[in-house]
Structure 1
């Protein structure tokens, strides 16, 4: 079984922008947002994927991702009630790659950094631009953002 072990952080400054190695626009929708399992469809640049994720256990969860035809993904996105629009920036720090997602549309203003690890207790760099960890805060799950966008949160 494939397992994703991921930490998620807010960003504390724009200093990460100086370290971007690559950026890609992503459209992402959810066919299922049940807390026990999510089913996501995504276009990422010129590629597309269908992803099934299990319920979180700490910062780990089952994850299965499959490449699919872009035309199929575009049709599936039409079935999703809300499609997230974001740019994913890859930022390399001390041999680790942070995926910094800069959201657009109803989630504009939200920027989160994710880091996949080999184990829950793996050491990782903590650059000065890395802010508070929000790994366990369900509001920051992309599936939750597709239901209650950042712009609708009480300030």
Structure 2
């Protein structure tokens, strides 16, 4: 949780076109359900619910509200979060825990919701989060590395297809209103013509 002067997140994000099953076979994913009450121009106000030991897997074809209701009794964490626009891999983020029951009730009554599976892995010198999105955002998979200071001189894993740190379309507060499946084909066509797929303004990139 970010507090005070640390109300900023520093991360780099990458598109993954093939989930690295060899890294995740013994890794049971958390269930993340996020409801946005504001998601516009890079600003977000959301409630995030998380189940860290679900009794069943989150189906990939489920939509956000259905996931909310199906796993309502299994959430063990609820966070209220305010976010600002991403500027060069840095984004304002203030969050605090709230009562799970209140969070579920709020999300059931309003907002727009998405759901995803979340895996955590350690690669090289960094911890990574890999999110596998459900519903209309299938088959999107995003890997991100977050640090307590700007993410520079990063070791990029081999399963990372392209960097999306500066592409606002891939932020969750954009995806909740403009799902990946709607614009995936045009994006992949654009990507196929790019000679460089990783940003060079974050120090020296190396590759795992």
- TM-score, structure 2 as length reference: 0.68
For residues 63-104 of structure 1, the C-alpha deviation after alignment (integer angstroms, 9 at most, x for no partner) is 111111111111221244421010011111013111110001
2:179 maps to 1:149: yes
| 1:123-138 superposed matches below 5 A | 123-138=153-168
Secondary structure of 2:87's match? coil
CA displacement at 1:119 relative to structure 2: 3.0
Name the CA distance, whole Å, in 2 between partners of 1:115 and 1:80.
31
Give the aligned partner of residue 103 of structure 1: 133
Question: Is the 1:90–1:99 contact (alpha carbons within 8 Å) kept by the matching residues of 2?
Answer: yes
Question: Is the 1:50–1:66 contact (alpha carbons within 8 Å) kept by the matching residues of 2?
Answer: yes
Match of 2:22 among 18, 31, 38: 18
2:124 maps to 1:94: yes
Larger radius of gyration: 2
State the Cα RMSD in Å. Answer: 1.7
- Structure 1: 5+ residue runs without aligned partners? none
The alignment covers a number of residue pairs equal to 154
- Structure 2: 5+ residue runs without aligned partners? 52-75, 186-208
Question: Is the 1:31–1:79 contact (alpha carbons within 8 Å) kept by the matching residues of 2?
Answer: no
CA displacement at 1:121 relative to structure 2: 5.0
For residues 84-131 of structure 1, the C-alpha deviation after alignment (integer angstroms, 9 at most, x for no partner) is 010011111013111110001111100010111233352222121112
Give the aligned partner of residue 33 of structure 1: 39
2:31 maps to 1:9: no
| Segments ≥4 residues shifted beyond 4 Å | none
Question: Is the 1:52–1:65 contact (alpha carbons within 8 Å) kept by the matching residues of 2?
Answer: yes
Name the CA distance, whole Å, in 2 between partners of 1:141 and 1:78.
22
Greater helix content: 2
CA displacement at 1:38 relative to structure 2: 1.1
Q: Are the structure 2 counterparts of residues 90 and 39 from structure 1 closer, same or farther at C-alpha, using a change threshold of 3 Å? A: same
Greater strand content: 1
Q: Are the structure 2 counterparts of residues 128 and 154 from structure 1 closer, same or farther at C-alpha, using a change threshold of 3 Å? A: closer
- TM-score, structure 1 as length reference: 0.90
Q: Which moved more, 1:35-44 or 1:138-147?
A: 35-44
Question: Is the 2:33–2:113 contact (alpha carbons within 8 Å) kept by the matching residues of 1?
Answer: yes
